[in-house]
Amino acid sequence: MQTAQDPDADIITGLMSGDERALSELMRRHLTRVHRVAARLLGDSALAEDVAQSVFLKTWKMAPDWVPGQARILSWMLRVTTHQCFDILKKKTPIYTDDVPEVEDSRRSADRKMIEDQTAFSVQQAIKALPDRQKAALTLSYYENVSQKEGAKILNVTESAYESLLVRARKSLKATLLSDSEFAAPEFLTHTDEKEERQ
Amino acid sequence: MTGAPTPDLALNALLDTQKIAPVSDLLQARILAQAKQTPQVQTVIPQSIAPKAPANDRFQIGFGKIAAAVILCFGLGISTWIFQTQTAVPAQDLIWQEAAVDLGVDEIYAWVEGESADVQSTGS
């Protein structure tokens, strides 16, 4: 089954022949993305780096056997990433930390900062509670803007199954997060700057 | 005053609160260093470079098989002939023994083998 032209077709030949510059270019293009997907699935940035390293080395090692035109190399790499994350999640309880980067902004009040941190933590816990495949579908679709077709290939499911995973993931999150009166309040969802000006 | 957002928009706003720490600057260097020590694996020989036996080589291979069979048969035949030749010797011995009996010299040979002293002392 032929796929659309691979945007990385220009560097595949170099990868297949063992050109390290091709590997560098591949990392320049996709390392952040692969790491991001792994980090969202695992909830651990350091562990996600290990996964990313493993994925790129596997790509490098298997490159001579790559058949151009059969799939996009990024889709293949994301598939390997999700599967490695699933294996890790099955073996251990993921370590979720309050690893929300602090943004220095002197204009923000301490209360607002506390609410944001608490919100982020609650959302993090809700996503963590999702089944692995729903979490992966949500990550690929919402955070990585992967099409339904590509997402189904990455997770090795049919498109209808992938859509079902997405729907169920969002439904679970809405039930968990939006039923909470704190998150459902309009004050939270609208710009608080406007509220402060009115006051 | 803005209206309440739809549940989907509300959820998206919540999902947007999740931030990911950036990748370490050293990760790319680590991967490259590891790649230098990781040999690439080729398990499938591409069809475009897989050597195909040319027609004359196929002929030679077939001919070789026939030649091997002929040599084998020849070898078996030689072995059979040699075996038959060796088993024929006892038959020739039998002929000589019969001839010795006819000539009466078999007793002499019996003396040689120590069967009887009377034959030796023929001078008495």
In the numeric block, which tokens belong to residue A47? 């562990």
Q: Which residue of B has its CA nearest to A29?
A: B28
Q: Is the pLDDT of residue A197 over 70?
A: no
Contact residues on chain B for A53, CB-CB shorter than 8 A: 27, 30-31, 34
Amino acid occupying residue B11: L
Out of A3-17, B4-18, B52-66, which region has the weakest mean confidence (pLDDT)?
Answer: B52-66
Digit-coded pLDDT (tens) for A106-138: 556 788 888 888 889 999 999 999 999 999 999
For residue A56, what are the contacts with CB-CB under 8 A and spacing of at least 6? A23, A26, A27, A31, A34, A77, B31, B35
Interface predicted TM-score (ipTM): 0.78
pLDDT band, very low/low/confident/very high, at B120 (cuts 50, 70, 90): very low
Average pLDDT, chain B: 70
Interface test with A, best of B2, B17, B24, B43 (most A CBs within 10 A): B17
8 Å CB contact of B27 and A178: no
Using the predicted structure, report yes or no on whether residue A28 has a pLDDT greater than 60.
yes
Determine the Cα angle at B87 with ends B85 and B93, to 5°.
Answer: 105
How confident is residue A26, by pLDDT bands cut at 50, 70 and 90? Answer: very high
Q: Give the Cα separation of A85 and A124 in Å (integer).
A: 17
Tokens at B18, concatenated: 């999740």
Computed from CA positions of residues B70, B71, B76, B81, in that sequence, does the dihedral angle turn out positive or negative? positive
Question: What per-residue confidence (pLDDT) applies to B56?
Answer: 61
**Mean predicted confidence (pLDDT) in A57-82:** 92
Nearest-Cα residue of chain B relative to residue A56: B31
- Find tokens 């692995």 and name the residue: A132
Chain segment B63-117, per-residue pLDDT in tens: 777 888 888 888 788 777 766 666 555 556 566 656 665 666 555 545 444 444 4
The reported pLDDT for the residue numbered A2 is: 47
Q: What local confidence, expressed as pLDDT, does residue A185 receive?
A: 47
Query: DSSP per residue over B45-113, as a string?
Result: --TTTS----HHHHHHHHHHHHHHHHHHHHHHHHHHHHHHHHHHHHHHHHHHHHHHHHHT-HHHHHHHT
Q: Residues for chain A: how many in total?
A: 199
User: Taking all residues of chain A, what is their mean pLDDT, rounded to a whole number?
Assistant: 85
Using CA atoms, how far apart are residues A184 and A173, in angstroms rounded to an integer? 13
With beta carbons under 8 A apart, name residues in chain B contacting A135. none
Contacts B33 to A, Cβ<8 Å:
none
Neighboring chain B residues of A137 at a CB cutoff of 8 Å: none
What is the 8-class DSSP label of residue B114?
Answer: T
Q: Please check the confidence at residue A191 and state whether its pLDDT lies above 50.
A: no
Of all residues in chain A, the percent with pLDDT exceeding 70 is 79
For helices A148-155 and A73-91, the axis angle rounded to 10 degrees is 50
| pLDDT at site A188 | 46
Query: Which pLDDT belongs to residue B117?
Result: 42
